[in-house]
């Protein structure tokens, strides 16, 4: 079966957030993630920084509205659209200030929105700021197997690694890739259906240090880490933004060949953080 990685590689390019306090949220990303902001006609904000971008819309709740992936070319986007249509996936046209004409969105069986399009350019490529490319997004779900089936067999993601409870044999986590990077999407089995976190990939360990120092100056303490994940083998730490959404900074994420078989890891703290204590979802 054709996959995103082998035929139409896709890379996460921006997130669309809802916020009950959009000005505070915009100020957080402008100040701490070096993102310029522009007010839009519909009342939302467009934020762009070096290799990262975001839309923030005022709402009666806070969280993620959609994650958008760049297909790189109109040809690849058309091929993906045709495959999704062939597999019975409903497609809706969408206009985005960050994507060329022809972008579209789909919904998974639990209603999550994913946008596919061709980026108008590398977000904030000429803007100064610390390195941190928007790289992956993660969710908790009550229906893990159904989510894996949809994103693998309908959309075309590839399973890189899974995590399994050794006592029950139950699958607890799945990491999915859309290009050569270990994952751009992941799901944890949880008691709720909610956005878990999103991540910015830096260049090296020294960047992790520098981002940590930046948050320390603002008296923003780390939520999780620093440490190293088993699946993906990446260095990381997590903090929360103005709306208490979790964001991660990562380095050294594994590059994964298309022929690599999916790995299986035990559900334990060492898997999620080989350096020490882990945040175990429930």
Q: Is residue 282 part of a domain?
A: no
The domain total for the chain is 2
- Lookup: tokens for 37: 């902001």
* DSSP per-residue letters across 209-272: HHHHHHHHHTT---SEEEEE-STT--EEEEEE-TT--EEEEEE-PPB--TTPPPEEEESSHHHH
Domain boundary (51, 86, 117) is at: 117
Domain boundary (84, 117, 150) is at: 117
Average pLDDT (80-91) is 97
Do residues 30 and 97 share a domain? yes
Do residues 112 and 145 share a domain? no
Specify the CATH number for the domain of residue 80: 3.10.180.10
**Sheet containing 36-39: which strands, arranged edge to edge?**
36-39, 45-49, 52-58, 11-19, 63-70, 113-117, 104-107, 92-93
pLDDT digits (tens, 9 = 90+) for 44-81: 999 999 999 999 999 999 999 999 999 999 999 999 99
Do residues 101 and 192 share a domain? no
Q: Is residue 144 part of a domain?
A: yes
Q: Is residue 246 part of a domain?
A: yes
Do residues 76 and 17 share a domain? yes
pLDDT at 281 over 90: no
Do residues 201 and 240 share a domain? yes
Residue 38: what pLDDT? 96
pLDDT at 265 over 70: yes
Q: Is residue 76 part of a domain?
A: yes
Do residues 96 and 26 share a domain? yes
pLDDT at 207 over 70: yes
Q: Which residues contact 67 (CB under 8 A, 6 or more apart)?
A: 12, 15, 16, 113, 114, 115, 137, 185, 198
> 247 is in which domain, residue-wise?
133-272
* Torsion sign across C-alpha atoms 231, 154, 4, 192: negative
pLDDT digits (tens, 9 = 90+) for 146-185: 999 999 999 999 999 999 999 999 999 999 999 999 999 9
Domain boundary (117, 149, 175) is at: 117
DSSP-derived secondary structure letter, 119: B
> Which 3 state secondary structure label does DSSP give 78?
helix
């Amino acid at each position: 079966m054709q996959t995103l990685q082998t035929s139409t590689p896709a890379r996460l390019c921006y997130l669309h957030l809802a916020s009950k306090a959009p000005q505070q949220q915009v100020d957080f990303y402008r100040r701490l993630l070096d993102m310029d902001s522009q007010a839009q006609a519909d009342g939302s904000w467009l934020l762009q920084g070096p290799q990262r971008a975001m839309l923030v819309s005022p709402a009666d709740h806070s969280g993620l509205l959609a994650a958008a992936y760049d297909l790189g070319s109109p040809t690849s986007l058309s091929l993906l659209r045709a495959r999704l249509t062939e597999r019975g996936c409903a497609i809706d046209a969408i206009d985005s200030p960050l994507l060329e004409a022809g972008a579209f969105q789909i919904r998974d069986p639990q209603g999550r929105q994913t946008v596919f399009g061709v980026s108008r350019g590398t977000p904030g490529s000429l803007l100064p700021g610390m390195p941190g490319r928007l790289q992956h997004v993660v969710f908790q779900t009550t229906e893990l197997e159904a989510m894996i089936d949809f994103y693998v067999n309908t959309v075309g993601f590839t399973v890189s690694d899974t995590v399994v409870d050794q006592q029950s044999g139950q699958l607890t986590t799945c990491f999915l890739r859309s290009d050569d990077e270990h994952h751009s999407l992941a799901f944890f089995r949880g008691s709720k259906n909610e956005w878990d976190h999103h991540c910015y990939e830096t260049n090296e360990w020294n960047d992790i240090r520098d981002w940590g120092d930046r948050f320390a100056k603002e008296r923003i303490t780390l939520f999780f880490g620093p440490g190293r994940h088993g699946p993906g083998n990446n260095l990381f730490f997590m903090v929360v933004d103005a709306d208490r959404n979790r964001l991660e900074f990562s380095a050294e994420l594994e590059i994964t060949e298309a022929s690599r078989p999916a790995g299986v890891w035990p559900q334990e703290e060492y898997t999620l953080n080989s350096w020490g204590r882990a945040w175990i979802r429930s």
